[in-house]
């Protein structure tokens, strides 16, 4: 078994976030909402090249899926979080070949996991805004939005985590 060493910044980041999670977790209770809503768009093609074409044509904002998080707050620092994911749903799974169905299910599981990582950034942002008593909400949102960009860059929009079709 080949072992890979994580770069130091990854390990340091993990330790810092684990430590920050303790203080932020207490403030996440002050955040209203935060329940994810998954909205689906339908895919019905049965051939791989047509599935790819349909995903490109119907997918949100030119992607196969898209996660969005919104944080709002009141003058009294009542923080509200809205989370949505737009995902593809195949309407003819039973008509697919077993191999293609297996690949579709693998890919959509990886895709949902990837999109949920983006939502986690929104959860962190909302909890930090609450913990900060809404003093610097825009800076916090900007930082977590940059984390969304970094996540997509690091994973090639989830491809390195399994978001691809062969």
Q: Which of 14-18, 25-29, 143-147 ranks highest by mean pLDDT? A: 143-147
Does residue 15 lie in a domain region?
Answer: no
Confidence check: pLDDT of 9 > 60: no
Residue 34: band (very low, low, confident or very high) from pLDDT cuts 50, 70, 90: very high
Does residue 2 lie in a domain region?
Answer: no
- Report how far apart, in Å, the C-alpha atoms of 12 and of each of 6, 7, 18, 19 are: 10, 9, 10, 11
**3-state SS record for 93-156:** HHHCCHHHHHHHHHHHHHHHHHHHHHHHHHHHHHHHHHHCCCCCHHHHHHHHHHHHHHHHHHHC
Does residue 11 lie in a domain region?
Answer: no
CA atoms of 53 and 40, how far apart (whole Å): 17
Does residue 13 lie in a domain region?
Answer: no
Strand partners, 66: 86
Domain count, the chain: 1
Query: Which structural domain range is residue 91 located in?
Result: 21-160
Whether residue 111 contacts residue 65, with contact meaning beta carbons closer than 8 Å, is answered with: yes
Does residue 152 lie in a domain region?
Answer: yes
CA atoms of 71 and 78, how far apart (whole Å): 10
Report pTM: 0.82
Residue 25: band (very low, low, confident or very high) from pLDDT cuts 50, 70, 90: low
Chain-wide mean pLDDT for the chain? 87
Does residue 137 lie in a domain region?
Answer: yes
Residue 27: band (very low, low, confident or very high) from pLDDT cuts 50, 70, 90: low
Half-sphere exposure (Cβ direction) of 75: Cα atoms closer than 13 Å: 0
Does residue 10 lie in a domain region?
Answer: no
Comparing CA positions, the residue from 74, 60, 65 lying closest to residue 164 is: 65
Does residue 4 lie in a domain region?
Answer: no
Q: pLDDT per residue over 37-94, tens digit each?
A: 999 999 999 999 999 999 999 999 999 999 999 999 999 999 999 999 999 999 999 9
């Amino acid at each position: 078994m080949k072992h890979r060493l994580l770069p130091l910044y990854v390990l340091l980041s993990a330790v810092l976030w684990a430590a920050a999670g303790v203080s932020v977790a207490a403030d996440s209770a002050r955040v209203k909402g935060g329940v994810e809503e998954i909205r689906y768009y339908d895919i019905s093609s049965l051939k791989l090249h047509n599935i790819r074409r349909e995903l490109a044509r119907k997918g949100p904002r030119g992607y196969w899926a898209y996660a969005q998080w919104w944080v709002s707050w009141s003058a009294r620092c009542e923080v509200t979080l809205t989370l949505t994911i737009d995902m593809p749903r195949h309407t003819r799974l039973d008509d697919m070949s077993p191999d293609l169905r297996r690949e579709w299910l693998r890919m959509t599981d990886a895709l949902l996991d990837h999109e949920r990582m983006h939502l986690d950034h929104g959860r962190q942002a909302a909890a930090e805004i609450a913990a900060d008593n809404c003093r610097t909400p825009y800076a916090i949102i900007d930082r977590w939005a940059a984390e969304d960009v970094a996540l997509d860059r690091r994973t090639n929009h989830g491809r390195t985590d399994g978001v691809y079709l062969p």
